[in-house]
Chain A
C-alpha cells in the first residue's frame, strides 16, 4: 500500500498541472477581460451597444463631444461639422469604427469593471467621463479644409504626446449614421477607418526625409557631393523625372527642391540594406501605438527590388506606404533630437494594469541619433524658410520645419498630397502630418489643412 501511495503522486502532478491551468485562465481573464467583453455580439451590451450608461466625452476645453441625455439617448456635439470632424475620434453608437473612443474605451465609459461584470441593475450603474486631448475647433477647421477629399490631418504636441487635432475624411453624422448599401458603397468607401491611425498612403516626397537621414548616416561626404538634374534620370531603362530642371545642386538644395533625380541617386548610394535599416529605425514595418491602439504599420520593403525600384522607393514610391500618425511621430522625433513621444488621446489615462506593466502601453520611440536628427532638422528648416514661406505658406506665424510630398498613385488619378513637419516654438511645439488623397500638389492642398488647424490651436 505504501508503494501505491507513493505512485499516486502522478495524480498529484495531474492536479497541479490542472491548478496551473486554472491560474493561467485567471491571469488571462484578469488581463484581457475588457477585450473579451467588447464583442459586438455580447447580449449584455445590446441596448444602444451599452452606451446608455456611458459617461460624457469632452475635448481639452471641456466642450461636450458625446453625452447621454435624460431619456438614455446618446447625443453628440451640437454642431454638425464638428460632429463629422470628430466622428473617428469619438465614434458613434455602433462599434463600426473600432478605434474610436466609444468602441475602444467603452469599458471605461460605462464604468465596466471585471469585479461587477455587466449584470448590475440599471439603477446602480453609472458612467465615467473621459476628457480627450483634442481641440474640437482645430479638428473642425482641418475637416473643413479637407473638404470633399479623402484624407487625414493629425497634429500632436511633440513634447507631451497630446494629440491636439485628429480628423479623418470621409465622414458622416454620428447622430444620423447612413445605411451603407450597394448603391452608396463608393460614397462611403473606407468610412469606418480612422485614416489618421488605421490607413496608409503612398508617401511620395516626404519619404525623402528617411532617405536623407540614411544618407547623413551612411554617406560621409554627402554634403560635399553635387547632384546634376536635367529633369530626368534614367536607370535600368526606366526614367525618374522631376517637374523642372534643377541643374547642379548640393544635398541641402536637392532636399529643398525635392529633386527626384538627386534622391534616386542618393538612394542607390545608400543601398538597400542601409535604407531599410534607417526606415525601420524610423518606424516603418514597426508596430507603434497611440494610447493602447496599434497604428497600422507603415510599409517599406525592398527585399525583392531591383536598382530601379530601389531608386523609386527612395523617393517614396514603389511599394512604400505611410501612416499619418506615424509621420507626425517621425517629425516629432526630429524636433526633439531623435525620440518620438508616444502620442495619446485620453487625458490622465493609465489603467491599473498598465501601471503594473502588464498591459501594453504606448512607449516613446527612439528613432534617430541626436546628430542625424539635427541635420535633418536643418534640411527641413531650410526647405520651409526658402521655399514654402516664399510661396506664402504660413502656419499661424510660427517658425516651422517641413516637407511636402506629392505621391503618384497611378495613371489618370490626381496625386496624393502630403505635408509633414513641426513647429519650432516653445509655447506651441507641434508636429503635424496631413494627407489629402488625390489632392494635387502637397503645398497647395495638404499644407492649407495644417494651416487652418494651426490657426485654431494658436489663436
Chain B
C-alpha cells in the first residue's frame, strides 16, 4: 500500500474512531444490561418546564440528546459499569465526581466544552441502577436546573423515582412469590 495513503488512513481512523466510539461505549454496554431506556431530545425536554421559561428553552436547545438507561441486577452484581466508565476515561473524559463503597454510588464524567462536551454517568441507589449519556454542549451551570426539572417532571417520565417498587424492574429477573 502506498505509504502516504497508509498515513492518511491512520490519521483518519485515529480522528474519527473516538467520535464514533463515544456513545457506542455506553450503547454496547447497555445492550446486555438495560431494562428500560429513556431517550430525551430538546423537544421532549422542553416539556419538563411547564412555565416555558426562555432560559430553560435555550438550555435544552444545547442538548443534542439525553439517554437514560435503567440497568438490570447483573450490572449491580458485577459492577461492570466501571469498565465502561474506564473506556470513557480513555477517550478523554475527566472524572467530575464519584462516590463508591456501600450501596449508594455515583460516578460522573465529562469533557470540557472546547473538547466537544458530553457527560456520562452512573447512579446507583441500593439495588437500583441507572446510567446516562448526555450529548451536547451544556454549560455546567445549567446541569442543576436540568436535574431539578427532570425530578419535577417525574410524574411524566418517572426517571428519578428509584425507590418505586416497579422502577428498574427487569422482566428477566425472577419475580418474588
Instruction: Tell me, yes or no, whether A binds B.
Output: no
